[in-house]
Structures are given as structure tokens and as C-alpha cells.
Chains A and B, each alone.
Chain A
Amino acid sequence: MSDFTPVATGTGVRARVQRGGAFLAGMIMPNLGAFIAWGLVTALFIPDGWVNRIARATGAIGAKDSTSFATEASAIVGPIIVFLIPILIGYTGGRTVHGQRGAVVGAVATVGVIMTPFALHLGSAKVPAPEHWESLGPQFLGALIIGPVAALVMKYVDRLFESRVKGGFEMLVDNFSAGIVGGVMALVGLFGLGPVVYWLTTVLGAFVDSLVNARLLPLASIIIEPAKILFLNNAIGNGVLVPLGAAQAKVTGKSILFMLESNPGPGLGILTAMMLFGPLAIRATVPAAIVVQFLGGIHEIYFPYVLMKPILVIAAIAGGASGVLMFSIFNDGLVSAASPGSIIAYIFVASPGDLPTILLGIIVSAGVSFIIGAILLGFGHGKQSGLDLEAAREQSARNKNKPATAPAA
């Protein structure tokens, strides 16, 4: 049976990084609906949200007032980001490691890391200690760690008791072992992990802020765009940038970090260049790919086109960086994750008032990617294309085989 496939070779560096990233992203991605719900209620109901903006514009309330409806409805915002989402992450992380029992202890343990700054009045690192639970930061990093760890502990404890429990006592042992592990891990989270990740999150946040302020953020595209092409898009976007962005958005109401990986502009530019100047044999497949990428937000669809002609990664980097530059010049941000990275998602989660400049940034990044992509493709007149369909087909077949024959490193 195993002669169907070559020996399993899932040990390459790329596969390992992908797998590590997939583990992180696997805790975030099933819960993206909660992020989006949070983003939508935030964009609608916060003091500067759509409801108040529209009410002010129509003269229903004063320029600095809020409608009582928006004020009441905004009560949902805090609990979702402070409690629900970290607990969902810890729950999902626990479930990945040890099923439903792992999920439960992961969720309980997460409450510990969430409450650390509140319970211990951590106010060092130049951050004022929270006076009310609503001023707690979203403890994603802590949840990403403690959820799977608590589940791992549960798994070992279960293994310890396995087949040593007298008949009839299984339920008693199961429930109380989970309860005790959950409670102990919540304390470990509160006193042990919590202070560490609180400090880490503060340092990381300050680092990101200084990158933003120094306008150095476009440099991130040098790493992000090539990594995306290697299918690390979920690892980076959902595994790293969404948690960081949500932490920032909790404080400032929006974050540019949500846009670093999810900007659909560079992909659109590259696909358009491919459609007009790419190998003739594949041009016909591109228009459908553009719809899936730009409107559907499934970026994976353009990665193979770049892998066919790896030099195109330069077009992706340039487009990504110019988009980030535009966003940072105009101080743009999204209120929550644009996931999937579709233009439609962008319209929904753009920070109220930022939409025009965000769209401009997307257009610029698409334009830059397109122009550089077109140059790199020789405007369709390069030696590999031209009007000889047969040669083009051969070339594209050869290109196509390249990544397949060279095993993923």
C-alpha cells in the first residue's frame, strides 16, 4: 500500500515552519467569526462608530454626543474581546491537543492569564494597571500557550488514571480530575504565565508601535510576501498578526497590522500582469482566479503563479510595501481582522473614516505589483512567450514541473 507514495518526507524546514504556524493559526482560524462579530459591533457602536457618525451627520445629536442606543449596544464590545475570544482560543487549542476534555481545561486555564494584570495590579512596563476588567488587554498570546499546555497536562493525568479506576467511579474521577487540572492551570496562568506574557505583550506592542511611528512597517513586506507564497500566509496572518492587531485595536480602536498580510492588492496586480503578459497557455485560467482572490479573499490562488515564475515575488514585495506605506502615511487601520483578505471584508472592517484611503492604498499596491510584474514578464514579449503557443505551453509545463520535481525544502 505504501508504494503508492514516496517515503513520508514531512521534515523539511518549510514543512516544519508551516506545521508550527498551522498549529497557531489552527487556534485562531476556527474562531474568526467571533473576531468579525467583535469588529462589526465595534465599528457600529463605539463613540466614533458608524451609528454615532450617521446620527451626528444628520443632526440628530450634537457633534460630540453619542446616541443612547449606541452606548447601550457597545456593552457587548468589551466582553467579547477581553473574555470570549481568548477563552475560545484556549478552548480550541486545548481541543486540538486532547479533545473535549482538553478544550475544557484549556478554557478554564485561559481565565487565569486573562485576569493577571487585574488580580496582581501589574503596572510596571509603563502601562497603568487596569482599574476595571474592561481595561484589560486581550490576552491572546497567553491563551495560545496555556490552552494547549493545560490540555497536555490533562492528557498525562488521564493516562495516569487510565485503567486504574474502579468500575463505577469513572465519571467521578473524570469530572474531578478535569476540575482540579483546570483550576490548578488557571492559577498557573494567573501567577506564572500571566506576568510573563503581560510583559512580553507590552514589549511587543511597544516594538510594533515604534516600527509604525518610524514608518519602517513597509519593510515587513520583505518577509511577509515571500512567506505567503510558500503557503505561510495563515501562519503569519492569523497566527501572528491577527492577535497582535487585535491587541492594538483594543487600545486604539484600529490596527494597521490587520492589513500587512491580508491586503488583496498585490495579488490582484500579479494576477492582472499574468492575465495580460503571462505564458499564453495559462492566461485563460487567470480571470477566474482574480475573482476568487480579490472578491473571495482566497489568496492561495495566486501563489502558484508566483511559484511558476519566482522572480515575481519582487512584484509582490513592492506592491505589499507600497500598500503598507500608503496605509501608514494616512494612519489607516482596520477595526478587526479582514479574514479572508477580500476587498469585501475590507469594506466591512475598515475603521470608519479610513475607507477611502484604504481603498487608495489597495489600488496603489495592486498598481505597483502590476507594473513591476508586467516588466518582469517582459510585457509578454520576452523570450518565453510571444505568439508561439506550443513553445509557451512547453515553457509553462516546464515551469509547472519545477516546484513539483524539487521537493519542498
Chain B
Amino acid sequence: MPAEPLIRVEKLTKHYLNSAGLGPGRGERVKAVDGVSFFIHRGETYGLVGESGCGKSTLGRTMLKLEQPTGGRVFFDGRDIFALEKEALRRLRREMQIILQDPYSSLNPRMTAGEAVGEALEVHGLARGREKRRRTEEMLAICGLPAGIYHRYPHELSAGQCQRVVIARALILNPSFIVADEPIAMLDLSVQAQIVNLLEQLRERFGLTCLFISHDLGMVRHIADRIGVMYRGGLVEEAPQEELFRRTLHPYTRALISAVPSLEPGKPKRRIVLKGEPPDPAESWEGCSFHPRCPLAGERCREEKPLLREVSPGHLVACHLAEGGDKP
């Protein structure tokens, strides 16, 4: 492993001021991302899982400075992204691309697939005219699209094809880092696997470093090298993929894994059904963010916030009850 990871996030914080409506909650601070630190090595895929409202998408967007950060720093290849001048950041954007959940709303309905993908080359002054066309067609083909797609508009394409166009657009600038935010959540089951396989191929071919954000634990397990589990704006557990599933330490991670419906026939499941709802991000709390729903919560969990600590090499957990390797 190289000494310097490609992406290093330090105590990243994003708070929103609730200005919607006139009801209760107005003027409160929503701590969407609250002091998150992690890193992604070159060529590595980091999976970020969590339920809606946990802050995983905000984290992905703020890392790329698509949202103004409240605090913290993000280093890309050793450079502090938040400290860059506007023009320098714009140049760096070539290196960092994002793929979003809804392919239809990610594409301009009035631009053909070819125009959408080729535009990026022109904007960054990399290619024009015939050269642009050639490179665009090549990238569309690499993403598994038929040749005739160049002149098609988004509404003429299926959701899976649209997502391939979005991926082609992200990759045509030859980035080194990709944030994929729920890239398959809107697709049909049989198409999801196609897109995941495509992402895996492209990752190999272009040596990409990825942040794969998803609520789908199975897919994250499939694609990620390391996985971070997010709850209420913070990481509660992080471990290499295999380790996370084999030696799950945080009670939330364990509940999350047990909640996934399994296709194993006839295997009675010991499911941990959590009480209550995922928390309202606007509510403030004391102690462990998970304690109101935790089946194991004790006195200390209600009073003292557990810090993320390394219990074995590469396995981090924020839980008072998780000892070294023992189950709490």
C-alpha cells in the first residue's frame, strides 16, 4: 500500500440550517455529516452503507465540494480540495466525477447521448469536432452501448441505457476518482447486475478509485474492498469487506445485515428487528447516536458518545460495548 491514500477525509462536517416552513424545527441545525474521517487508497473501492437520512449522499457530495462544507478537510492526492482556488478546483474536477441515482434527471432531456458525453470534452478543452466524436463513440461502446445510441435522446432510452450514458460521461474525462451514489437503486433487478458488472470492468480497465454509496448491503459487499457503515451523520463501523461480515461488531451493522431478506431456502433466520425509526437528522442527542434503538444500550451509552476506535488492524467501531474481538 502506498503511504498516501488518494482520498483522505478529515473530520468532514456539513450542517444545514433548517429554513423550510414555519413549523417546529425551523432554525435548527441539521447535522447531516458530523466529523467523518476516512481514507481511500489508490485503486480501492470504499463502500458506504446506511439508511435514508444518515448523511451518506451529503458526505459524497461535500467531499467533491458540490456542497459547501461546514468544517473539515478533504485531500485529493495530497492536495486540500477546500483550499483550492476556483480555477484550480475546476481543473481538478476532471479527476473526480460523480454518478447519481436517477439517470433520467442526471441527463439533459434536450441533449442526445452523444452530445451529453462529448460536452465534457469540450468544456474542459480536451477535444473538439471529429476527435470529440471519435472519443465519445469509443467511450459509449466501452460502456456497452450500441452504436446507434449517439443520436438518441434520454427519453428514448431505457433506465439501464441511460445509466450507461451517465457512466460514459463520467469516464470520458479519464478521472481517477468516482463517487457512485446509489447508481443502481432505480434499476430493475436484472439490470442492476449488468451495471455493477460494468462498473467493475471499468474499475479494472481504468484503475479507478471508487466511493460506492448504497443502502444495498449485498451489492456493497459484492463490490467494495472496505466498507463504512454510517448512522446519524457519523461512521459507526469500518472494516475490510470480509471482516465486516465475518466479525460484525456494531449492533447497528448486525441489525442491518440481519434485516436483508435472504434467498437461502429453508434457513430460519435469526433476525434482529430494531425498535423505532431511523432518527430525524434534525434532532439532537446525547451519548451514542444509536442508543435509542440499540437492543444492548446501557447507562454509559446514554451519556457518553463513543468514539471510533481501532479494535483490530483496519477494523474500527464506535461502540462502548464492542471489545477487541469479543461480541458485546
Say whether A associates with B. no
A contact residues vs B (CB 8 Å cutoff) = none
